[in-house]
């Protein structure tokens, strides 16, 4: 039985483009399941877009965590005091 939630990953590679009036450049890679590799890659040039993408990703992670914790219960079996996840809750894209 799976005892941990799915691990999501967000990477942001940011740099400044010299000579540009809007110098920010960012490449964002996201996945809701690290075992499947990156599921989306974005190239952005505005701070607000980068912030919105990061916030949206974290909102999705928190929603998945909430789903996961609602399916967790404290095991009542003798000698087993850990958290058990039942039933498995798949990651859902927003």
Domains in the chain: boundaries: 9-85
DSSP string across 15-65: EE-TT-SS-EEEEEEEES-GGG---EEEEE--HHHHHHHHHHHHHHHHHHH
pLDDT band at 74 (very low <50, low <70, confident <90, very high): very low
Task: Read off the tokens for 6.
Answer: 């799915």
Task: Read off the tokens for 15.
Answer: 């740099």
pTM: 0.63
Q: Is the pLDDT of residue 80 over 70?
A: no
Separation between Cα atoms, residue 16 and residue 14, nearest integer Å: 7
Separation between Cα atoms, residue 73 and residue 42, nearest integer Å: 38
**Per residue in 37-64, pLDDT tens?**
888 899 999 999 999 999 999 998 888 8
């Amino acid at each position: 039985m799976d005892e941990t939630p799915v691990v999501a990953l967000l990477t942001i590679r940011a740099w400044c483009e010299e000579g540009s009036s809007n110098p920010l450049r960012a490449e964002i890679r996201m996945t809701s399941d690290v075992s499947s590799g990156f599921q989306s890659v974005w190239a952005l040039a505005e701070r607000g877009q980068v912030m919105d993408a990061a916030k949206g990703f974290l909102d999705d992670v928190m929603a998945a965590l909430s789903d996961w914790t609602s399916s967790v219960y404290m095991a009542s079996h003798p000698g087993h005091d850990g958290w058990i996840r039942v039933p498995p809750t798949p990651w859902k894209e927003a």
